[in-house]
Amino acid sequence: MRAPDPDAIRDLYVGAYTIRYLIITEVIYVLRLWRDKEQEKDSAQF
C-alpha cells in the first residue's frame, strides 16, 4: 500500500515498519505507523 498523494504524504520503510508522514514547512507530522506483514520466506522458491 502506498500513500494516496505521494507529493504531499510520503511513506518511509524502516525494517518491518512503514511510517506515513507529511511535511509542512519545517514540521513533520507522523500520520500513521504500522508493522508490515512478514514475507513468507519458507514459501519462496529459489
Domain boundaries, the chain: 1-36
Residue 12's alpha-carbon distances to 5, 15, 16, in angstroms, are 14, 10, 11
pLDDT score of 8: 81
pTM for the structure as a whole: 0.63
Q: What is the pLDDT of residue 46?
A: 42
- Separation of alpha carbons 7 and 34, rounded Å: 21
Question: Residue 3's pLDDT is what?
Answer: 59
Q: Give residue-wise pLDDT tens across range 1-46.
A: 665 666 788 999 999 899 999 988 888 999 999 998 765 555 454 4
Q: Distance of alpha carbon 46 from its chain centroid, rounded?
A: 27
